[in-house]
């Protein structure tokens, strides 16, 4: 796993927070640094994930789809089969072990798609903690099933009504809460962003994914994969999938961002590729952010609530800058097509976030040889996206119908003129 240089990864990272938060961050950093090289702590964490969340998750070959596409052999790392349905549970269980050691009784979290909020609520119920989850009002509407379960688990879900009412605003409100309650509260940050040590800490717990990929690929393929592909929002599932392979340059690492509708301002969430992200400091750390002409944080869009974020992990910003991670993007239309293709070919229902990784991974696999292997991190399942998919698919199918009818009419008109 990559390690920071005093909280920085190249020029990115750092800790830019109100003075009141510095003691809590220092306490967390000291505890984390004292445990991260302790094999007994790692085994305690792995055992908890196995007994409670169902790890290890399988590495599933997509034989029919690989044959259909005609390129590399495609495999899915099945984080969708975790308890709660996504990779987010890995990080919160690890942070839960830290909360127990710090003897704090309340946790807060931000969430976009709701999977991190749900995982935090589950962890809080398991450990007997009070939980408050901040979620943008727009995301609450898009992901209400997760909100329902968070509340049933005993968490207080707070709707954030400011700004674009999505993940950026939820994170801002969570930081304000933490500043006011830091003595008794731990902030369970959900992705590999924010002030140090969170990017490194979250990546550490999520690296269990790549540890398993390495062992499973050697056993099932007889070798390491040629490429590993993951969607990129904040960056936790990508860092989890990439972590164990960062020093092995024979394995290509590809991160797929949310290309949205277009590359116009406010129509996408692309920060790493296409030179759209600009270096800035916000929300406690320095990274690439989408910014407007005035240097303020810009608006974002994605069909997937979990990728609708204005910043990106400072670790991924650094790795992209160094050329170790290849950043690409997938549009909303490409995502819904990949979503449908996986369902109808392999019987697996992906989350819309994960379907970005599918879209990018399928595109790359088509250009590779049949003796090569691509692993796509399926970071979550699609139960939560049923209403978004229901809205997206009829619109796309109706558009396709109109296009077919227009082409048919043109063809008939040409035939009639010929007579």
Tokens 């005035």 correspond to what residue?
Answer: 294
From 29, 77, 104, 110, the catalytic residue: 110
Annotated catalytic residue within 257, 328, 379, 384: 379
Question: What are the tokens at 377?
Answer: 């991190």
Tokens of 272: 């790493």
Q: Residue 308 carries which DSSP code? A: -
214 is an active site residue = no
User: Is residue 80 within 8 Å of residue 354, measured between CB atoms?
Assistant: yes
Q: Nearest-CA neighbor of 130 among 193, 188, 180? A: 188
What DSSP string runs through 215-250? HHHHHHTSS--SEEEEE-SSSHHHHHHHGGGTT-TT
- Interatomic CA distance for residues 402 and 31, integer angstroms: 60
Confirm whether 168 is a catalytic residue. Answer: no
- Take residue 379 and report the two structure tokens written for it: 């970071």
- Tokens at 187, concatenated: 């902030």
Beta strands in 127-277 (DSSP E): 130-136, 156-160, 185-187, 227-231, 252-260
Question: Going edge to edge, which strands form the sheet with 130-136?
Answer: 156-160, 130-136, 106-111, 185-187
Q: Which residues pair with 135 in a beta bridge?
A: 111, 159
- Element (H or E) spanning 106, and its range? strand 106-111
Q: CB-based contacts of 25: which residues, under 8 Å, 6+ apart?
A: 15, 17, 195, 196, 197
Task: Let me know if 4 is a catalytic residue.
Answer: no
Which of 411, 240, 369 is closest to 316 using CA atoms? 240
CA proximity to 78, closest of 380, 342, 363, 355: 380
Strands (DSSP E) contained in 242-372 are 252-260, 278-282, 285-289, 325-331
Considering the candidates 29, 79, 84, 88, report the single residue annotated as catalytic: 88
Residues serving a catalytic function are 88, 110, 379
């Amino acid at each position: 796993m990559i390690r920071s240089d005093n909280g920085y990864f190249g020029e990115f990272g750092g800790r830019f927070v109100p003075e009141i938060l510095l003691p809590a961050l220092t306490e967390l950093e000291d505890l984390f640094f004292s445990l991260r090289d302790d094999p007994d702590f790692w085994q305690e964490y792995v055992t908890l994930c196995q007994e409670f969340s169902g790890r290890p998750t399988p590495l599933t070959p997509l034989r029919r789809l690989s044959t259909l596409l005609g390129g590399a052999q495609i495999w899915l790392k099945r984080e969708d089969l975790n308890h709660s349905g996504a990779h987010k549970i890995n990080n919160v269980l690890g942070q839960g072990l830290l909360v127990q050691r710090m003897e704090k009784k309340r946790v807060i979290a931000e969430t976009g798609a709701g999977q991190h909020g749900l995982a935090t609520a589950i962890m809080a119920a398991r450990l007997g903690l009070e939980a408050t989850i901040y979620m943008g009002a727009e995301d609450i509407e898009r992901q209400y099933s997760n909100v329902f379960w968070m509340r049933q688990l005993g968490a207080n879900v707070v709707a954030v009504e400011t700004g674009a009412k999505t993940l950026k605003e939820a994170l801002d409100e969570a930081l304000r809460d933490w500043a006011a309650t830091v003595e008794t509260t731990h902030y369970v940050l959900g992705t590999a962003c924010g002030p140090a040590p969170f990017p490194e800490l979250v990546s550490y717990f999520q690296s269990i994914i790549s540890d398993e990929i390495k062992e499973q690929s050697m056993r099932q393929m007889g070798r390491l994969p040629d490429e590993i592909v993951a969607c990129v929002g904040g960056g936790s599932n990508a860092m989890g999938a990439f972590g164990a392979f960062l020093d092995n340059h024979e394995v290509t690492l590809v991160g797929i961002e949310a290309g949205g509708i277009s590359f116009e301002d406010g129509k996408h969430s692309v920060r790493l590729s296409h030179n759209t992200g600009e270096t800035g400091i916000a929300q406690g750390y320095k990274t690439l952010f989408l910014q407007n002409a005035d240097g303020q944080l810009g608006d974002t869009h994605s069909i997937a609530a979990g990728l609708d974020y204005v910043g990106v992990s400072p670790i991924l910003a650094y790795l992209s800058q160094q050329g170790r991670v290849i950043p690409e993007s997938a549009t909303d239309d490409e995502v819904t097509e990949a979503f449908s293709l996986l369902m109808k070919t392999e019987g697996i229902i992906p989350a819309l976030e994960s379907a970005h990784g599918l879209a990018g991974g399928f595109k790359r696999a088509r250009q590779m040889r049949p003796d090569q292997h691509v692993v796509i991190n399926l970071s979550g399942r699609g139960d939560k996206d049923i209403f978004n998919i229901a809205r997206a698919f009829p619109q796309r199918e109706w558009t396709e119908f109109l296009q077919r009818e227009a082409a048919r009419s043109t063809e008939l008109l040409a035939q009639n003129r010929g007579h």
